[in-house]
Chain A
């Protein structure tokens, strides 16, 4: 049993190495063309949100059906700051993360008393509300015309080519993935798992259940918000239709299909679902149906998600 833990550690390092090689090889393989780089960078941004959602769902045992709401808060914060004040992407991302974290208190505080279905409903409502505010508060958001980002610069350096944005997106994804993968080996990660698995035992072990749940929401939302800022930089333009229920559903599906409480699983789920939704979008309007079908298929045939392809004997988590 000890040796299997050692093996899985080595495996995670091999996985990280493979991911790094792929991330470097991809731009060369696609001849530095704009469209593939854009699609790949967008995948990186969505995968960040999926990882943030797994921190909430897989690691702390809560649920969010409205994660696009946090993503939207970060995207709008960065886009508006850029459009009006030419604010740097780094500052925009920090502001986006902070705004999303603030927004998470709106749902995170009730989460201390709600669970299961009720928390699902509250978060779903939150996601819908954020998209509606983006649509209706035209003085701030331009409504459905959206907000155009000014020149993108990061810590003073102008990101002039798609390759730059691609690099920034994958460095950010790597940082989030390292955080998510290390979390279970930290005190905070254990507190999350404790609250997920037994609230009474968690309390008996000195863990404040309410505070831990809110902390998970704040961290998850902050990451999603920072990803939103990157998304604004990537697309150069944000509009309400990018942050609807179907986007929340996509993030949710990435985690469920990949397998909760697994960083590699969630990354794989993000890759599969992103490919599915990109492919379906070109066919036209099929995307949501396919995402739904993927969730149903996993629930029926592989409840533990894709992670069960390589992780065995760990039950359904």
Chain B
């Protein structure tokens, strides 16, 4: 459903993405992994139209995404979360999530019920009315996820959803992500492979802006190039 071909991004002399191909079907969890600075966030930014590639194409459900404005993506069925939760800090957690329903003009009362339900499902019912900017970072990440999830996208882009979230919240979060991937595509960047690798259908490994491996989790685990570049030569089972 999502098809990236030969995506190349240049920032001055830097080439954070260099001819990356990526295919994401209709359903399931798809992982993008790689060391810091590999270009993972940049790839998500290309798909969500925050960064325009200098070469390559991005198509989604038969449409050329590069022809769309960033604000048209949610309407096309693509929602995202941010690596450093980009919340509307002056709004309550509930209002943040409500923004995720506003594009569909859900009547206010029904929207409030849905948004509250989403927060409760992520264990955030108690902070629904707290100003988002004052929440601890882990909670902010969860609100960021709730805001994207409530819009019921066809493709959900998650940038390190587990980073900064406390251990107590991780099981709920993993369940939410797995449930979300049941009837939609979830493209997720994550470093905590030990927690998410088993949930993924396929994994793409980026390093220095290039795809160094692609395949189901079992293969990726044993790929020598992955071990060398991503794991610094450490034993796979141990590192993961």
Docked pose: A152 CA to B43 CA in angstroms: 63
Chain A interface residue count, Cβ-Cβ cutoff 8 angstroms = 30
A204–B129 contact, CB under 8 A? no
Q: Give chain B residues whose Cβ lies under 8 Å from the Cβ of A209.
A: 71
B103–A315 contact, CB under 8 A? no
> Within 8 Å of chain A (Cβ to Cβ): is B202?
no
Docked pose: A217 CA to B161 CA in angstroms: 36
> Within 8 Å of chain B (Cβ to Cβ): is A261?
yes
Minimum distance in angstroms from A189 CB to a CB of chain B:
9
B48–A197 contact, CB under 8 A? no
> Within 8 Å of chain B (Cβ to Cβ): is A201?
yes
> Within 8 Å of chain B (Cβ to Cβ): is A5?
yes
B70–A203 contact, CB under 8 A? yes
Docked pose: A201 CA to B133 CA in angstroms: 14
Docked pose: A196 CA to B87 CA in angstroms: 11
Please, what's the 1-or-0 string for B117-156, where 1 marks a CB less than 8 Å from any CB in chain A? 0000000001111110110000000000001100100000
- Contact status of A193 and B74, CB under 8 A, knowing A2-B129, A187-B102, A313-B134: no
Minimum distance in angstroms from B7 CB to a CB of chain A:
19
Q: Give chain B residues whose Cβ lies under 8 Å from the Cβ of A1.
A: 126-130
> Within 8 Å of chain A (Cβ to Cβ): is B240?
no
* Chain A binder among B30-38, B88-96, B190-198, B216-224: B88-96
B71–A194 contact, CB under 8 A? no
Pick the most buried of A198, A203, A204, A313: most chain B CB atoms within 10 A of its CB.
A204
> Within 8 Å of chain B (Cβ to Cβ): is A208?
yes
Please, what's the 1-or-0 string for B48-77, where 1 marks a CB less than 8 Å from any CB in chain A? 111000000000000000000111111100
Which residues of chain A (157-202) have a CB below 8 Å from chain B? 184-187, 190-191, 193-194, 196-198, 200-202
> Within 8 Å of chain A (Cβ to Cβ): is B99?
yes
Docked pose: A1 CA to B48 CA in angstroms: 35
Q: Give chain A residues whose Cβ lies under 8 Å from the Cβ of B87.
A: 197-198, 201
B86–A201 contact, CB under 8 A? yes
- Contact status of A196 and B90, CB under 8 A, knowing A201-B82, A204-B74, A205-B151: yes
Q: Give chain B residues whose Cβ lies under 8 Å from the Cβ of A206.
A: 71-75, 102-103, 151
Q: Give chain A residues whose Cβ lies under 8 Å from the Cβ of B134.
A: 313-315
> Within 8 Å of chain A (Cβ to Cβ): is B238?
no
Which residues of chain B (150-192) have a CB below 8 Å from chain A? 151
A187–B88 contact, CB under 8 A? no
In the complex, residue of chain B having the shortest beta-carbon distance to the beta carbon of A204: B80
Chain A binding surface, main DSSP class: helix
> Within 8 Å of chain B (Cβ to Cβ): is A282?
no
A317–B90 contact, CB under 8 A? yes
Partner of B79, one of A186, A200, A204, A317: A204
> Within 8 Å of chain A (Cβ to Cβ): is B98?
yes
Q: Give chain A residues whose Cβ lies under 8 Å from the Cβ of B127.
A: 1
A194–B99 contact, CB under 8 A? yes
A187–B105 contact, CB under 8 A? yes
Docked pose: A272 CA to B102 CA in angstroms: 37
Chain B interface residue count, Cβ-Cβ cutoff 8 angstroms = 39
Minimum distance in angstroms from A10 CB to a CB of chain B:
14
Please, what's the 1-or-0 string for A1-29, where 1 marks a CB less than 8 Å from any CB in chain B? 11011000000000000000000000000
Partner of A5, one of B89, B100, B129, B133: B129
Docked pose: A157 CA to B186 CA in angstroms: 64
In the complex, residue of chain A having the shortest beta-carbon distance to the beta carbon of B50: A200
Docked pose: A317 CA to B151 CA in angstroms: 27
Partner of A190, one of B69, B73, B102, B105: B102
Docked pose: A185 CA to B91 CA in angstroms: 10
> Within 8 Å of chain B (Cβ to Cβ): is A207?
yes
Docked pose: A162 CA to B82 CA in angstroms: 57
Q: Give chain A residues whose Cβ lies under 8 Å from the Cβ of B95.
A: 184, 190, 193
- Contact status of A193 and B90, CB under 8 A, knowing A1-B129, A206-B74: yes
A204–B69 contact, CB under 8 A? no
Q: Give chain B residues whose Cβ lies under 8 Å from the Cβ of A208.
A: 69, 71
B48–A190 contact, CB under 8 A? no
A190–B74 contact, CB under 8 A? no
Q: Interface on B for A, CB 8 Å cutoff?
A: 48-50, 69-75, 79-80, 82, 86-92, 95, 98-100, 102-103, 105, 108, 126-131, 133-134, 147-148, 151
Given contacts A191-B99, A200-B86, A207-B99, 11 further A-B contacts (CB under 8 A): A186-B108, A187-B102, A190-B88, A190-B99, A193-B91, A196-B90, A198-B86, A204-B73, A204-B86, A205-B79, A208-B71
The 10 closest A-B pairs by CB, nearest first: A206-B74, A206-B103, A203-B70, A201-B86, A197-B88, A5-B129, A317-B90, A208-B71, A203-B71, A198-B86
Q: Interface on A for B, CB 8 Å cutoff?
A: 1-2, 4-5, 184-187, 190-191, 193-194, 196-198, 200-209, 261, 313-315, 317
30 A–B contacts, CB within 8 A, in A order: A1-B130, A2-B128, A5-B129, A184-B95, A187-B102, A190-B95, A191-B99, A193-B95, A194-B91, A196-B90, A197-B133, A200-B50, A201-B88, A203-B69, A203-B71, A204-B50, A205-B99, A205-B100, A205-B102, A205-B103, A205-B147, A206-B72, A206-B73, A206-B75, A206-B102, A209-B71, A261-B90, A313-B134, A315-B90, A315-B133
